[in-house]
Every structure is written in structure tokens, then in C-alpha cells.
Amino acid sequence: MAGGRSGSRCRCRWGTPLPLLAGRGLGLGFLLLLSLGPPAQSRSLRFVILLYRHGDRSPVKAYPKDPYQESQWPQGFGQLTKEGMLQQWELGQALRERYWGFLNASYHREEVYIRSTDCDRTLMSAEANLAGLFPVEGAQAFHPNITWQPIPVHTVPEAQDKQTHKLRLPPWASPQTMQRLRQLKDLSFRFLFGMYRPTEKARLQGGVLLAEIRKNLTWAASAAQHPKLLVYSAHDTTLVALQMALDVYNGEQAPYASCHMFELYQEDNGNFSVEMYFRNDSTEAPWPLALPGCSQSCPLPDFLRLTLPLVPEDWDRECQVTGSLADTEVIVALAVCGSILFLLILLLLTVLFRMQAQPPGYRHVADGEDHA
């Protein structure tokens, strides 16, 4: 209260003057504070890693007798469509809502790092996603009529559904046929990543990205200053390979704009834990994922221990990738020897064939004998 007299007339709900109530409870409150000690640190989100698939794209190629060839698509085959742009913008909006209060409302370059494969549809997906995640606000607007701002997307050089676009399907593309095609597509992913020595394949196909994720989680848990968000804009094969390595793959092709989330939390006791979520449906909340052998909120040391066998120690050696000069010389030498041997065999067969082609008793007569 501003004045003492007005404060003396203020009553609590039970009619006891506030100064008297405070005086009576002073000793008890002091003892209670001593017993509680310093306030406990609440659980807090410290770092997020996102891996999402690009949005809807045009077909990468046409099937035989397809009435919709590359010229029918505004940007050609394999390019992000307007539907795909909208999907990624909506994902960005959903991420903005999910991480509201953790990320800054406007873009700050110290907080966010985005990386994409060197592919048009993934680069454009990242830009559409960022437009939803960080809409222009206040001083960041550089033109009154433009509600977009450029945000850097980093990359490295490169070492189909037509129903969505209201195109008429051919007569043979019945709902049953399209369902079978989707099942075959899912089977192709299981064959690519899951059949025949799946653990080894998972390590070689998804372990390289997993190694980067492990490194960044460890760094975020130990560094005082670090970005809050690391984003990978990639493909369905990238996402499925990672989920196969983590043994959390659901057996189906990752939908457009689906997103795998890694969230690093600092617990009340100061320790760190990792939670994973998969957003594969824009109408539902992200699905929680649990690493086999650990709880859904997995302590960081356990997460690192369980994923260590999935990281290749020497990817080139395990994949039998050789590039040394000695190996090249051996291959060239074998190729030359093989070619010479093939020519010698061919020459020998030609000689034998000509000898067998001469009639029995044939004897060549010299010119001198003909004129005798």
C-alpha cells in the first residue's frame, strides 16, 4: 500500500489485519525458508535438432505413356510445388508454436543454423519453413509490402503424387492399384534399409548423420554459448536411414514435410536428457519415440552409449571405398592384361577357324608351277 493508514484498514479474507498476520507468521515463514534451502532449478529445454523431409514435389520422372510429361509441371520434374511450399510453411508455423518462449520470436542468427542438401526442393523447403517459423516483425521488415526476410541456408556441393495437383489419373490407377503401389514403395524402403544385415546397413547409411547429431548434443550440453536450433532439410531416404539406425522406423515412407525432432533438456538436478518426436501428420501432435533400451526421456549418457555402435569408425573402409594410387594402378594393370589375353584368344580362334575352313586335300600351287 502507498500509505500506512490505508494499509491498516486492509483486511484479509478472514478479518485479520495484514500487519498482525505478517507478525504472527514471520517466525514460521523464516523457519520454512531455512528448511527449503535455495530454490530448485526447473527442467528446461536447452537445444533442438530437426530433420525434415522436403515438401511435396513434382514427379522425378514419367512412367511409360504418361500424359503428364515434364512440360506439364511449372518447374519440371523433381521440383517443389506450391503444395509443398505450403506444407513447409505450415510446419514452420507449428514449430514456432511448439518452441514459443524457447526461440526468439524474430530471427537471430546466433540462435539458428540451417543446413540443406544441394537440391532445389530441399533448399526451397528450408526457405518456406523459415518463413513460417520466423515471420517478419518490426524492424526486420525491409519493405512495408513484403512479409518475408532472407535467412541463410547452408549447404555443401553434391559429392508424385498427382492427385494432390488435381491431375486426372489414368484408368488403370484405381484406388486399389495406388494402395498396392504405396505398399511396394514401403517395401522398397524396408528392402533398402532393413533387409540383409540391417545393423551394418543402418550404421553405414544413417550412422554418419547420427554421428553429427551425437556431437552436437554433447557440445550443447557442455558449452555455455551455443545455437538453440539446428535444422537439416533433406529427403525421405535421409530421414528413414536415420530412423532405421535408431531402430524407431515405423516401416512406412516418410510423408512430405515430416519432421524428426531431438530435444535436449536439462533436468532439475543439472543432468541432461534427450527426447525424440516424429511429426508425420499435420493434424496430430508429434509422436513420442523411445530409443530401444532407454526411456522416452533418455539420459544423455545412455543415449550416447546406446548409439555409439551405430556410428561408423571409418566409413570409407567399411564401405570398401578405395582411392589410393596403388589400387588404381592394380586395376589398370588387370584391365590391360585382361584385354591382351582376350585379343590373343580371339586371334587364336580366328586362325583355327580359317584352318578348319580349308577343304581336305587342298594344296596351294605357286605361280611358277602354274606356268610349267
Consecutive H or E run containing 260 = strand 259-266
Q: Output the nine-digit C-alpha cell for 284.
A: 496430430
What residues does 47 pair with on adjacent strands?
A: 264
Three-state DSSP class for 22? helix
Distance of CA 48 to the CA centre of its chain: 13
Q: Which residues are catalytic?
A: 54, 236
DSSP state of 11: B
Distances (CA, A) of 234 to 117, 127, 230: 6, 13, 13
CB 80 within 8 A of CB 123: no
CB 231 within 8 A of CB 112: yes
What residues does 273 pair with on adjacent strands?
A: 265, 299
Dmax over CA atoms of the chain, in Å, equals 158
How far apart are alpha carbons 279 and 286 in whole angstroms? Answer: 4
What residues does 103 pair with on adjacent strands?
A: 100
CB 265 within 8 A of CB 275: yes
Strands 298-299 and 154-155, by their bridges, are unpaired
Reference 59, options 85, 81, 32; nearest CA is: 81
Distances (CA, A) of 158 to 51, 116, 155, 360: 18, 11, 9, 67
